[in-house]
Amino acid sequence: MSHPERLALGVDLGGSKVLAGVVDSRGKMLSRDYSATLAHHGPAAVVRVLTEAMRRAIAGASIEISQIEAIGIAAAGISDPRTGILHSSPHLPKWKDVPLRDIIERELGVRTVLGNDANAAALGEFCFGAGRGARNLIFITLSTGIGGGIIIDGKLYAGASGAAGEVGHMTIDVNGPRCECGNTGCWEALASGTALAREARKSIREGATTAILEQAGGDIEQVTAQTVHAAALAGDAVARELIGRTAYYAGVGFANLINLFNPELVIVGGGLSNLGDMLLVPAIKVAGERAFQAAFKAARFVPAQLGDTSGVVGAAALALGGGSSPLEGGRTG
């Protein structure tokens, strides 16, 4: 089957699932394949899952592998797009300095590019989603953790070693709670879905009068950001206060990024953003109180548009050289 567009294979490698899809140069997904990552089985098993998912995605698009111009892999964690090495990932235990790009190139015989998942999602939104037409933007995903990607003057900013955009690990409170990364008081430890659930469980254990536990079926271990939100929607005062505190910290982080980068757009995605106005209105208000006024007034907050496909579409954009610094002046062979 002939296809007039340039085609790439985008892969979003997460801790629990792999999403692979053939994407054309207009950002249209021609196929999609979901599979379980099998992360706990180690790198060799995950690579097998990846290659099988890629082959199924190619078959699902009714094309030959020879029609794929490049493969883009978006993975959580610290990777170097120049060397193609995934150094470490919070969601992939036993992974240390895995040369993922070279492994996939050997397996499939197609030029491969490796990038960070939030950077890829930022590029996807910039090329094909909420960021179309902008030149300077920050993409933030408020989810289990907090990730981000930065577009400066129309190019993805990857930094000196591909590690830029780790916005979730800005220190917001030097005396704050310990973060998964080992530091204390990171933005992620204060304003993520995990942080909201942790603070809710703490309130319950301290004897707060709240319906949050009821929303979780009486099991404190089942308390999540969603159960807190459900209780808040039902008028629960403790839940509303917890979301308000999370919104405050979200706003402090927004203010820092606005002062640092002066973006025209702040794109907000991720599961926690589904709390909508209850979270975002007070967060944006805090950002407006704390950021420089000229910079705050220049920034518009908009919701992400691509949902769970942003990583795949962004990885494909990365592979096709969609204005991204890792491909410019980098390896092309």
Residues 108-152: pLDDT tens digits? 999 999 999 999 999 999 999 999 999 999 999 999 899 999 999
For residue 71, the number of C-alpha atoms closer than 13 Å in the C-beta half-sphere is 29
* Dihedral (CA of 322, 125, 136, 162) sign: negative
Instruction: Examine domains 7-123+309-319 and 133-304 and report if their fold is the same.
Output: yes
Fold classified for 7-123+309-319: Nucleotidyltransferase; domain 5 (3.30.420)
Average pLDDT, rounded, for the chain: 93
- pLDDT greater at residue 240 or residue 327: 240
Q: pLDDT-based confidence at 322, cuts 50/70/90?
A: low
Q: pLDDT-based confidence at 76, cuts 50/70/90?
A: confident
Residue in the structure block whose two tokens are 């955009």: 165
- Cα distance between residue 97 and residue 224, in whole Å: 33
pLDDT tens, position by position, 191-241: 999 999 999 999 999 999 999 999 999 999 999 999 999 999 999 999 999
Fold classified for 133-304: Nucleotidyltransferase; domain 5 (3.30.420)
How many H helices and E strands in the chain?
11, 12
Name the percent of the chain lying above pLDDT 90.
Answer: 85
Residue 3 has pLDDT above 60, yes or no: no
- 10 Å CB burial of residue 7 (0-12, 13-18, 19+) is buried
CA distances from 6 to 2, 66, 67, 180 (A): 11, 12, 8, 40
**Cα-based angle 281, 286, 287 (whole degrees, multiple of 5):** 95
Domain extent listing, the chain = 7-123+309-319, 133-304
What's this model's pTM, rounded to 2 decimal places?
Answer: 0.90
Name the percent of the chain lying above pLDDT 70.
Answer: 95
- pLDDT greater at residue 313 or residue 3: 313
16 in helix, strand or coil? Answer: coil
Q: pLDDT-based confidence at 32, cuts 50/70/90?
A: very high
- Cα distance between residue 150 and residue 256, in whole Å: 13
Listed in sequence order, the residues at least 6 apart from 303 whose beta carbon sits closer than 8 Å to its beta carbon are 130, 267, 268, 269, 273
pLDDT tens, position by position, 81-104: 899 999 988 788 889 999 999 999
Residue 310 has pLDDT above 70, yes or no: yes
